[in-house]
C-alpha cells in the first residue's frame, strides 16, 4: 500500500486561468522577529488543484460547503486518455466505472502545468463522455488539465447539473498506472463558496497482473 499526492503545490508563482487574478501568498510574520510564522493568502477559487461545486455554473446550485463529506471519498477509476484531443465515451466503454466511483481522467497534460500552452491547448472531455459518466453514476470527475471543456462550458453544466463534482489541475496521475485497487480522498477546504482548493490523495492498494508481467 502507498499514498500518492495528486495535488499541485499552492504557491505565489502558480499559473492561473486567463483573466483570473494572480494568487497572493504573503508572509505576515517572521519566526525570528515576531516569534511565530504567519502567512496571508488572497486568491480566486479556481487556481491550482481545486474542486467545482454546482453553484459554479448553475443558478441555485449547491455551495461546496453544503456537499456531504461522503461525496469526497470513494473508489478511484483511472482513464488513460493520453494522446486524445477529445476524451469521448469510448474510453469509458473500455474502462467502465462503477456507481459512486471517483473518475480520474489522465491526459498527460499536467507536465505542461507551468507552460503557456497549458491554458491554450489542453484536451477536452466530450459531452458523450460526460453523459456516460452520468449514466454510470460516478460522483466526481477529475482531470489533469485546467478544465474539462471550454466556453460555453456544456460539460461543466452537464456534470454539475447531476451534482457530479469536478476537480481540475490534478497531477501525478501517471503514478497510478497499473494499480488495480484505488481509494481516493478529495477533501476541499470547507469554504462557503462555489469552489475551493482541494487536497487529493490516492491510496494505491494493488497492481495489476499485466503490470507485474511488464
Q: 88-111, pLDDT tens digit by residue?
A: 999 999 888 999 999 999 999 999
Per the structure, the count of domains in the chain is 1
For the stretch 43-71, pLDDT in tens is 999 999 999 999 999 999 999 999 999 99
What is the domain-level CATH number for residue 152? 3.50.30.50
Cβ contacts of 125 within 8 Å, gap of 6 or more:
86, 87, 105, 141, 143, 148, 149, 155
C-alpha torsion 5→104→16→110, nearest 10: 70
Position 94 scores a pLDDT of 85
- 118 Cβ contact partners less than 8 Å away, ≥ 6 residues apart: 15, 109, 112, 145, 146
Cell 452520468, residue located: 134
- Spatial distance between the Cα atoms of 200 and 110, rounded to a whole number of angstroms: 15
Enumerate the β-bridge partners of residue 2: 204
pLDDT at 213: 43
Cα–Cα distance measured from residue 50 to residue 33, given in angstroms and rounded to the nearest whole number: 34
Query: Which parts of 60-205 fold into alpha helices (H)?
Result: 90-94, 127-136, 154-161
* Positions in the chain whose pLDDT score sits under 70: 207-214
What's residue 104's pLDDT?
98
CA atoms within 13 A on the CB side of 84: 19
Query: Structural domain of residue 103, as residue ranges?
Result: 2-212
Rounded mean pLDDT of the chain? Answer: 95
CA pair distance 46, 14, nearest whole angstrom: 12
Which of 59-70 are b and which e, b meaning 16 or more Cβ less than 10 Å from the residue's Cβ? eebbbbeebeee
What pLDDT is attached to residue 207? 64
- CB of 113 within 8 A of CB of 76? no
CA quadruple 98, 104, 107, 108: dihedral, nearest 10 = -140
* Cβ contact 145:121 at 8 Å: no
Distance CA 128, CA 92 (A): 10
Amino acid at each position: 500500500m502507498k499514498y500518492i499526492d495528486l495535488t499541485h503545490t499552492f504557491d505565489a508563482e502558480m499559473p492561473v486561468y486567463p483573466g483570473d487574478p494572480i494568487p497572493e501568498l504573503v508572509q505576515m510574520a517572521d519566526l525570528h522577529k515576531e516569534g511565530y510564522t504567519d502567512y496571508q493568502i488572497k486568491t480566486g477559487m479556481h487556481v491550482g488543484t481545486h474542486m467545482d461545486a454546482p453553484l459554479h455554473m448553475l443558478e441555485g446550485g449547491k455551495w461546496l460547503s453544503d456537499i456531504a463529506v461522503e461525496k469526497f471519498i470513494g473508489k478511484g477509476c483511472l482513464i488513460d486518455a493520453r494522446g486524445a484531443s477529445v476524451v469521448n465515451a469510448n474510453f469509458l466503454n473500455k474502462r467502465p466505472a462503477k456507481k459512486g466511483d471517483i473518475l480520474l481522467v489522465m491526459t498527460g497534460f499536467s507536465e505542461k502545468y507551468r507552460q503557456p500552452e497549458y491554458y491554450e491547448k489542453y484536451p477536452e472531455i466530450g459531452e458523450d463522455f460526460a453523459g456516460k459518466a452520468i449514466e454510470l453514476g460516478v460522483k466526481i470527475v477529475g482531470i489533469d488539465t485546467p478544465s474539462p471543456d471550454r466556453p460555453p462550458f456544456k460539460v461543466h453544466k452537464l456534470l454539475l447539473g447531476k451534482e457530479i463534482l469536478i476537480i481540475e489541475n490534478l497531477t501525478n496521475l501517471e503514478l497510478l498506472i497499473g494499480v488495480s485497487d484505488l481509494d481516493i480522498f478529495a477533501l476541499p477546504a470547507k469554504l462557503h463558496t462555489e469552489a475551493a482548493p482541494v487536497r487529493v490523495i490516492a491510496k494505491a492498494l494493488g497492481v495489476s497482473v499485466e503490470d507485474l508481467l511488464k
